[in-house]
Amino acid sequence: MFRHVAVLITSTLLLSLALATAAPQLTAADGQQEFRIPETDDGLPGAGPIRRYDWFRNLWTARRTDFAMQVESKQGAVVFLGDSITQGWGPDLRNFFPKVNVANRGISGDTTRGMLIRMNEDVLALNPSAVVLLMGTNDLEEKAEPETIAANVELIMAELKKHRSDMPIVLCQVFPSSATKSRPADSIKKINALYAAAVKGDAQVTVIDTWTLFANEQGDAKKEEFPDLLHPNGVGYAKWGRALRPILATLGLTENQADNFKPEEGFVSLFNGRDLTGWGFRPTTEKMLKSRERWRSRDPNAPPWPVVKTPVSFDGKKSTPGGRYIARHGRLVVTTPSEGRRVQQLWTTREFGKDFTLKLEFRATPNADSGVFIRGPQLQCRDFVLAGPYRNLTRYKAQDWNELTVDVKGGVAYCTCNGEVLEAEFKVPESGPIGLEGDRGQIEYRRIRIRM
């Protein structure tokens, strides 16, 4: 993890005073707040570039004056803080989040230091229910180092945490662009790595892999989604919106209605939609321990896997300890691990020895990795387009609900996703439980049912 100690300590100590000096001043003419970019960097928080082009000065003043007029109506909003990519989504974020009070606080051309300066009035004054961050690309154009950019983002998150220690923060990785835009792939990847290191182990921050979501094989933006290799078009915004919706749902900000689904005749539910009754942790097997050691030998910095010594039941509980698995509005959610990756397994307390048909629906955030255990062996259940292994599916719906069906006859399972074959002869033991793995990203499961 990076730490420019002297810069960060100095910036943190000066932050409150500097934000105050950058605060808006009332005009004598009409009493409205007039926002102007400070003429110099003296006493300002953070480090790196602050843009002062004439066009940007005018836009900064106009946007922030408009923001100030919305403070009352946007109380408790989900605040989107960013630059032109965020601003271009429009004031209602193209209605991607119906019934959610959203506040678009993007300013085209802004840098991370500029966003730090305007935190008090544009973000904290709204008492947000959550904040979504996408920032850093303009700093690169102004030749800022990745370490400087990431240090500013740390200061932004520190202000958010100081305002409310339990406020959810959603950190989007910097989108790919192009070296022709002064935003080479290697620099963006380094920024994203520094972001991840800065928030590792921080349960208040959820990181979304928007880099893998958009990058081509060379690590650049795709023309069909970013026509100018910097700003998304309608297709790009739709993908970003779909990536965010599952996270906002898990945070309780949307999709809060009960799921009234009733299993088909002959099927019984394995998940009641309200709590984790019928599910629990099983003792860690020798096979799992050996797998963990192989993983750690390849990656010494990999987080340890939780070891379970005795069975644990979660009957009547809405969450496992630490909140990795939660029951919320008909969904069994495997939440994003704060470490970036953490392998964990939840199992039915019941075992199944007869032939059966298992059906469930799942929704994965970009590049998320999970799995469904069929009497023990794991069937990969992921964001297949980005994480594989079934990349050629034509019916898979990215960041949307998909149906997984597993028909077990004897020791063989026939597995499909939305009717397309994943595995035609998946070998399984004679008896065993059903399980759900967590690894990276967020996976939601619902309507888990079985017919025997």
CATH 3.40.430.10, applies to 5-250: no
pLDDT attached to residue 302:
66
pLDDT attached to residue 295:
66
Can you tell me the distance from the alpha carbon of 278 to that of 269, in angstroms, rounded to the nearest whole number? Answer: 10
Q: 179's torsion region: left (phi>0), alpha (psi -120 to 50) or beta?
A: alpha
141-175: pLDDT as tens digits: 999 999 999 999 999 999 999 999 999 999 999 99
pLDDT attached to residue 303:
66
CATH class of this structure's domain 268-451: mainly beta
Can you tell me the distance from the alpha carbon of 186 to that of 36, in angstroms, rounded to the nearest whole number? Answer: 34
Which of 272, 326, 295 has its CA nearest to residue 436?
A: 326
Chain centroid offset of residue 233 CA: 21
pLDDT attached to residue 25:
41
pLDDT attached to residue 258:
87
188-213: pLDDT as tens digits: 999 999 999 999 999 999 999 999 99
Give DSSP secondary structure letters for 62-84. HHHHHHHTTTTTTTT-EEEEESH
Q: Give the list of residues 6+ apart from residue 388 with CB closer than 8 angstroms, or none.
A: 380, 382
Exposure class string for 341-372: b at 16+ Cβ within 10 A, else e: bbbbbbbbbeebeeebbbbbbbbbbbbbbbbb
Which of 67, 124, 129 has its CA nearest to residue 99?
A: 129
Give DSSP secondary structure letters for 26-46. E-TTT--EE----SS-TT-SS
CATH 3.40.50.1110 range(s) for the chain read 5-250
Are the C-beta atoms of residues 129 and 77 closer than 8 Å to each other?
Answer: yes
pLDDT below 70 — which residues of the chain?
1-33, 292, 295-296, 300-304
Can you tell me the distance from the alpha carbon of 47 to that of 19, in angstroms, rounded to the nearest whole number? Answer: 14
Can you tell me the distance from the alpha carbon of 444 to that of 55, in angstroms, rounded to the nearest whole number? Answer: 44
Which of 300, 334, 302, 357 has its CA nearest to residue 446?
A: 334
CATH 2.60.120.560 range(s) for the chain read 268-451
Which phi and psi angles does 9 have, rounded to 5°? -65, -45
pLDDT attached to residue 284:
82
Which of 318, 445, 333 has its CA nearest to residue 379?
A: 445
pLDDT attached to residue 446:
98
Q: Is the pTM of this model over 0.95?
A: no
